[in-house]
Amino acid sequence: MTIQEMFDLTGKVAVIIGGARDFGFNMADVLAEAGCDLVLTSRTLASAEQTAVKLKAKHKRDTLPLALDVTRHPQIAEVADRAAAWKGHIDILINNAGGTPSGKGKARLFERAPEDAAEVININLLGSLYCCQEIGRIMAKQGHGKIINVASVAGIVGRDRRMYDRSSMQGQPIDYAAAKAGVIGMTRDLAGYLSPMGIYVNCISPGGFDRGKLPAGFVKDYSDRTPLGRMGRDDTDLRGATLFLASSASNYVTGHNLVVDGGFSIWQ
Ligand SMILES: NC(=O)c1ccc[n+]([C@@H]2O[C@H](COP(=O)([O-])OP(=O)(O)OC[C@H]3O[C@@H](n4cnc5c(N)ncnc54)[C@H](O)[C@@H]3O)[C@@H](O)[C@H]2O)c1
């Protein structure tokens, strides 16, 4: 197999959960460039449609936009069925939905409300688990598939909250670290379960990414603690990892957590 063939995804169908913006958009973009047709989900159909139109125009690949809130369990099975019926197969699943609902609740431990913590676990951990379950069911029938979960360095190392305090930021809630550590553990165990059925399960743990909205002091602090001297960039830094884990280039890799953090975690 040539290198070109190894990374070629022509005719594959990729489902990107939370695919309308930021990481989700960029992962969808690289997969479409490599030849995939895309099922893009977002909580609102309108934003999934907007991204679908944009990526279809750019890459001339088919796109199917669907609405999905991963905390609404019945919707996941419906999306899995519609995605499978679209081209008759699902080859790649990216579980990107996550984060901490912005502007909601207090992040600090002693002020954290149980419902806010539960929501973070529901979106990041259980949402990904249920998507693996429903789309994994379809992949198991096909006998092949590649699942990529999106975890975080937050699931690997603790956070120095003095960095956030210095920039008057709330910081990351503990439940987010718990959810992302859960995604990494879940990925390993799912790989043990699904790999004998021909389904690869891996995850990517990004470090902090800068989208021009963070306080300059925080970006400097974070960059100083990163061996490569900067935060991540959306349009470049996850592309290689995504394509590697989605393609035959990773055909002897399963249960792996690919850390894409500029070295941030090794200095913690
Ligand atoms: N930005 C970072 O620095 C960073 C670092 C490490 C990991 N991550 C993780 O990467 C993933 C993408 O984050 P991002 O930075 O692109 O942030 P983002 O907020 O732009 O993306 C989060 C995505 O999840 C979707 N989402 C949120 N709640 C959902 C729900 N209930 N149902 C369905 N979709 C839902 C959003 O619509 C969005 O598409 C997340 O899992 C996040 O935890 C981000």
The residues spanned by each domain of the chain are: 3-260
Residue 133, SS3 per DSSP: helix
Residue 148, φ and ψ in degrees, nearest 5: -125, 115
Residue nearest to atom 36 of ligand 1 (CA): 18
Radius of gyration (Cα) for the chain, nearest Å? 18
Q: Ligand 1: does its nearest atom lie under 6 Å from the Cβ of 206?
A: yes
For residue 5, the CA-to-ligand 1 centroid distance in Å is 31
For residue 99, the CA-to-ligand 1 centroid distance in Å is 4
Residue nearest to atom 1 of ligand 1 (CA): 209
Q: Ligand 1: does its nearest atom lie under 6 Å from the Cβ of 238?
A: no
For residue 150, the CA-to-ligand 1 centroid distance in Å is 9
**Paired strand residues for 38:** 14, 63
Q: Ligand 1: does its nearest atom lie under 6 Å from the Cβ of 99?
A: yes
3-state secondary structure the chain: CCHHHHHCCCCCEEEEECCCCHHHHHHHHHHHHCCCEEEEEECCHHHHHHHHHHHHHHHCCCEEEEECCCCCHHHHHHHHHHHHHHHCCCCEEEECCCCCCCCCCCCCHHHCCHHHHHHHHHHHHHHHHHHHHHHHHHHHHHCCEEEEEECCHHHCCCCCCHHHHHCCCCCCCHHHHHHHHHHHHHHHHHHHHHHHHCEEEEEEEECCECCCCCCHHHHHHHHHCCCCCCCECCCCCCHHHHHHHHCHHHCCCCCCEEEECCCHHHHC
* Residue 151 burial (CB count, 10 A): 28
Q: Ligand 1: does its nearest atom lie under 6 Å from the Cβ of 48?
A: no
**What is the C-alpha to C-alpha distance for residues 257 and 247, in angstroms, rounded to an integer?**
16
For the question of residue 176 being annotated catalytic, the response is: yes
For the chain, residues with pLDDT lower than 50 are none
The whole-model pTM stands at: 0.98
Report the top-level CATH class of 3-260. Answer: alpha beta
